[in-house]
A and B are shown apart, each in its own frame.
Chain A
Amino acid sequence: MNPVLEAKNINKYFEKPVSFHVLKDINFKIKEGEFASIMGKSGCGKSTLLYILSTMDTDYQGQLFLNNELITGQKRDILSRIRNKHIGFVFQFHYLLSEFSVLENVILPAKKLGEKSLPEIKAYAMEKLRILDIHTLADKKASRISGGEKQRVAIARALINDPAIIMGDEPTGNLDSHNSENVFNIFRQLCDDQGLSLLVVTHDKDFADKTDRIIEMEDGRIIHS
């Protein structure tokens, strides 16, 4: 199996308020179709690692490969393009644009990518919404739907460009157990049915236990993977 994402000797320091070595020699791979979770206590550097993997944080040492291509040291514009095409995000908070409808929120990254025509994008987005069972909400304003629904819309948005990997930063952190369950099942299903790779940072032991692989972190190091 090809590795989708590979980190080699990632080191990161925080300079402020005092110099602090956050990530120490991080090495790991995520294979295609793998559902992995990162666990660890608060402050162990797991979110910091995720944002480095996400290409949004470029201030680190080491090398990062996506689909076997080196993405460390690329220009910001190219990184934006990589995020747009190959990486989907689901955060703890949904980050939907409140003035836009559900459908518009979902299709924004695809419109930015600009590889398909608008009707094609819309049809594809409706398909994704149907998979997540929220297609009836398509024309509602994003500010008018419930928290669980918002998170599912965020997942649909992450899926719209068929990314190589989905990254989650505590995607169930704000949800009750029923909705958490729901989100996990969606992830599981995407992984099993569509062979999608997932990397999720979580506190939730139950959630992590159900994933294929748990990467445990402590004090900036991977202690078990």
Chain B
Amino acid sequence: MNWTVILHIAKTHLVTKIKQTATAALGVTFGIGAYITLVCFMTGLNSMLDDLILNQTPHIHIFNEIEPSKNQPIDLYTKIESSLNMVHSIKPKQSQKKIHNALPLLIYLNNDAKVRGATPQIKTQIFYMAGSIELGGNLTGIKVLEEARLFNFEDYIINGTTLDLQNTDNGILLGAGIADKMSLDIGDRVLVSTIKGDIFPLKIVGMFQSGIADIDNIQSFVKLKTIQRILGEAENYITDINVKLYDLAEAIPMAQRIEAQFNLKAIDITTANAQFETGTTIRNLITYAVSITLLIVAGFGIYNILNMLIYEKMNDIAILKATGFSGKDVQMIFMSQAIIIGLVGGFLGLLIGYVLSSIIDRIPFNTEALPTVTTYPINHNIWFYVIGITFAMLSTFLAGYLPSQKANKIDPVQIIRGQ
């Protein structure tokens, strides 16, 4: 095979038919450009939405579930083993909300090599009191700095800092929704009442906004020590432990192990947020479906133009074959045209995709939900570009293969005698 001649002929065809060549290449360019833009934007959006939930969600959430015993006393009575027993209206057994031996458990978890960190929490229901109004809500006691390190807690503080909460003994990080309802601001005092009826004044050191209104309307945070004092509990009173792992895939087996080993409830992130996984998958599916459609359309453009070119060049093909070019040579002429169109169009497409997504990356995007996000999210991943150019080459190869196969099969005698 003599590539210089083949490429020379291919190039001459492409250059003399520059308009058709450009049309075919532009088809690929737009296909790839749209794919890059779409996939960068969609995956950027996806990871932003996932972060919205997953960043503040622990990989494993350990707590003491209040539930009825699975084994009722009658099950232990062996004499009626073969018969059916029925116990109506089973109640949960008397149990404590706190995690038994929480502090040693925390130390154990933090020493595990797979664990990035385990942090204790105390959750309780309280009332926010403003004059005669009582608003129900949740108060969570946290280890502030650990929470910031593991769960990006500071992303959701819109006024004030984590340090303010850490350094103020009676400080509270008030949910933005509650603050609005009660017209409270930083530096004000808010009264909270426990279920038992004890009332405590707390100083507002910051606002908390997660972006999910239902949470912002009830949720506030205080230090672990503060809440233990409010509830009148000892230092080992801990209701929840949140674990963050290095590898998300470890969450399920580890949760199962903790449940079995410590007789506690341990929920892993994939079970708790299955719907996000589904949402991400479907959004990716849509992105790829649209991109592949675009590329198939571009592929048909190339197919069409090469087909036309081959009909136009019947005589040339016949004489090339008569003067000693084999069918393979002629096929390679048209294949190399398709591949040149694919390469040029594909790389231009990557460029256009990069430029477009960079522009999108600079468009301001302000949303209440995400105080840290200022522009539209874009995920520039080198793999998208690799996939893009691979697909461009693949589709042009296929689009070029069929017409060039036809050129291979053309019988020169028929063409020459048909004149």
Contacts and interface: CB of A to CB of B under 8 A. Distances in A.
Interface of A: 47, 51, 54, 56-57, 76-77, 80-81, 83-85, 89, 91-93, 95-97, 99-100, 108-109, 111-114, 157, 161, 169
A100 B321 contact: no
B5 A85 contact: no
Contacts of A84: 323-325
Nearest to B323: A109
A47 B413 CA distance: 10
B325 A80 contact: yes
Contacts of B412: 56
B324 A95 contact: no
B367 to A, nearest CB: 57
A169 B324 CA distance: 17
Interface in B280-337: 315-316, 318-329
Nearest to B322: A89
B413 A57 contact: yes
B94 interface: no
22 contacts: A51-B416, A51-B417, A54-B322, A80-B326, A80-B329, A83-B322, A83-B324, A92-B419, A95-B315, A95-B316, A95-B318, A97-B316, A100-B12, A108-B5, A111-B8, A112-B2, A112-B5, A112-B323, A112-B329, A114-B2, A114-B5, A157-B323
A83 B413 CA distance: 13
A57 B328 CA distance: 17
B328 A77 contact: yes
Q: How large is the interface on B (under 10, 10 to 19, 20 to 34, 35 or more residues)?
A: 20 to 34
B416 A169 contact: yes
Contact of B321 (A80, A92, A161): A80
B380 interface: no
Given A89-B323, A108-B323, A111-B4, 19 more contacts: A47-B417, A56-B413, A80-B326, A81-B324, A84-B324, A89-B322, A93-B315, A93-B416, A93-B419, A95-B315, A97-B9, A97-B319, A100-B12, A108-B5, A108-B320, A109-B324, A112-B323, A112-B325, A114-B5
Contact of A91 (B13, B316, B416): B416
A164 to B, nearest CB: 13
A-B complex: 8 closest residue pairs judged by Cβ atoms: A84-B324, A95-B319, A80-B326, A99-B16, A111-B5, A109-B323, A83-B324, A51-B413
A77 B2 contact: no
Contacts of B328: 77
Nearest to B313: A97
A76 B330 CA distance: 13
Given A95-B416, A112-B2, A56 B322 contact: yes
Nearest to B4: A111
Contacts of A109: 323-324
A144 B354 CA distance: 45
Contacts of A114: 2, 5
A100 B318 CA distance: 16
B321 A112 contact: no
A52 B283 CA distance: 62
Nearest to B17: A99
A161 B325 CA distance: 13
**Max chain B Cβ within 10 angstroms of own Cβ: one of A96, A97, A157:** A97
Nearest to A174: B419
B326 A77 contact: yes
Nearest to B8: A111
A83 B323 contact: yes
Contacts of B324: 80-81, 83-85, 109, 112-113, 161
B370 to A, nearest CB: 58
A54 B411 CA distance: 13
Nearest to B6: A112
A76 B410 CA distance: 13
Contacts of A157: 323
Nearest to B325: A112
Nearest to B16: A99
B322 to A, nearest CB: 5
B324 to A, nearest CB: 2
A58 to B, nearest CB: 10
A47 B412 CA distance: 13
Nearest to B315: A95
Nearest to B13: A99
B321 A56 contact: yes
Contacts of B315: 93, 95
A76 B326 contact: yes
B152 to A, nearest CB: 63
A76 B319 CA distance: 16
Contacts of B320: 108
Contacts of B325: 80, 84, 112
A93 B418 CA distance: 11
Contacts of A81: 324, 326
Contacts of A83: 322-324
A132 B344 CA distance: 42
Contacts of A95: 315-316, 318-319, 322, 416
Interface string B399-418: 00000000000011100110
Contacts of B413: 51, 56-57
A76 B327 contact: yes
**Max chain A Cβ within 10 angstroms of own Cβ: one of B12, B328, B412, B416:** B416
A92 B418 CA distance: 11
A14 to B, nearest CB: 12
A97 B411 CA distance: 18
A40 to B, nearest CB: 15
